Structure 1
Amino acid sequence: MSVSPRAPKVRPGPILGIETSCDETAAAVYDGARGLLAHTLYSQVRLHAQYGGVVPELASRDHVRRINGLIRLALQQAGVEPAQLGGVAYTAGPGLIGALMVGAAVASGLASALDVPLIPVHHMEAHLLAPMLETPAPAFPFLALLVSGGHTQLVAVHGHGVYALLGESLDDAVGEAFDKTAKLLGLPYPGGPHLAKLAEHGRDGRFRFPRPMTDRPGFEFSFSGLKTAVLSALPVQPSDQDKADLAHAFQEAVTDTLVLKVGRALESTGLRRVIVAGGVGANQRLREKLAAYAERHGVQVYFPRLAFCTDNAAMVAYTGWVRRADGVAPGGSLFATPRWPLDQLRPPRAA
Structure 2
Amino acid sequence: MIVLGIETSCDDTGIAVVKDGSLICEVRSTQEEVHKKFGGVVPEVASREHFKTLLPLYNMIKERFSEHIDAVAVTVGPGLPGSLSLGLCFAKTIALCERVKIVGVNHLEAHLLACLLEYRYPKFPALGVIVSGGHTEMVLWSGWGVYKRIGWTVDDAIGEVIDKIGREMGISYPAGSEMERLSRSTTYEIKIPKLKMEGYMMSFSGIKTAALREFRKITLKEDYPAFALGLQNSLFSSLSSKIERVVQDYKIKEIVLGGGVAANKILRDKVGEVCSKHNLGFIVPSPKFCADNAAMVAICGYDMILRGISDDLSLDYRSDWKIKA
TM-score by length of 2: 0.95
Partners of 2:246 and 2:63 lie apart in 1 by 44
Task: Give the stretch that moved more between structures: 235-244 or 320-329.
Answer: 235-244
Aligned pairs for 1:133-152 (under 5 A) are 133-152=117-136
The structure 2 residue matched to 1:46, chosen from 33, 38, 53, is 33
Aligned pairs for 1:159-178 (under 5 A) are 159-178=143-162
> SS where residue 246 of structure 2 aligns?
helix
What is the deviation of 1:40?
A: 1.0
Q: Given that residues 202 and 241 in structure 1 are in contact (C-alpha distance below 8 angstroms), is that contact kept between their aligned partners in structure 2?
A: no
1:287 aligns with 268
Say whether residues 1:241 and 2:241 are aligned partners. Answer: no
2:13 aligns with 25
The structure 1 residue matched to 2:75, chosen from 87, 91, 94, is 91
Letter in 2 for 1:18: I
What is the deviation of 1:137?
A: 4.4
Aligned pairs for 1:49-68 (under 5 A) are 49-68=36-55
CA deviation string 1:152-199 (max 9, x = no partner): 111110123311111110110111111111112121111122112112
Between the two proteins, the alignment pairs up a number of residues equal to 323
What is the deviation of 1:102?
A: 0.7
Say whether residues 1:36 and 2:23 are aligned partners. Answer: yes
What is the deviation of 1:145?
A: 0.7
Letter in 1 for 2:31: Q
The structure 2 residue matched to 1:73, chosen from 38, 60, 71, is 60
> SS where residue 154 of structure 1 aligns?
strand
Gap runs ≥5 in structure 2: none
Letter in 2 for 1:248: L
The structure 2 residue matched to 1:326, chosen from 306, 309, 320, is 309
Letter in 2 for 1:71: Y
Q: Given that residues 88 and 110 in structure 1 are in contact (C-alpha distance below 8 angstroms), is that contact kept between their aligned partners in structure 2?
A: yes
Q: Given that residues 213 and 220 in structure 1 are in contact (C-alpha distance below 8 angstroms), is that contact kept between their aligned partners in structure 2?
A: no
What is the deviation of 1:326?
A: 2.2
Partners of 2:180 and 2:206 lie apart in 1 by 19
TM-score by length of 1: 0.88
1:192 aligns with 176
What is the deviation of 1:237?
A: 6.2
The structure 2 residue matched to 1:117, chosen from 71, 86, 101, is 101
Gap runs ≥5 in structure 1: 1-12, 347-351
What is the deviation of 1:262?
A: 1.1
Q: Given that residues 38 and 75 in structure 1 are in contact (C-alpha distance below 8 angstroms), is that contact kept between their aligned partners in structure 2?
A: no
The structure 2 residue matched to 1:259, chosen from 222, 233, 240, is 240
Q: Given that residues 126 and 315 in structure 1 are in contact (C-alpha distance below 8 angstroms), is that contact kept between their aligned partners in structure 2?
A: yes
CA deviation string 1:73-118 (max 9, x = no partner): 22433x333xx11111100011000001110000001101111111
Q: Given that residues 132 and 138 in structure 1 are in contact (C-alpha distance below 8 angstroms), is that contact kept between their aligned partners in structure 2?
A: no
Letter in 1 for 2:8: T
Partners of 2:319 and 2:234 lie apart in 1 by 30
Q: Given that residues 154 and 203 in structure 2 are in contact (C-alpha distance below 8 angstroms), is that contact kept between their aligned partners in structure 1?
A: yes
Identity %, equivalent residues:
36
What is the deviation of 1:234?
A: 2.2
Partners of 1:57 and 1:133 lie apart in 2 by 32
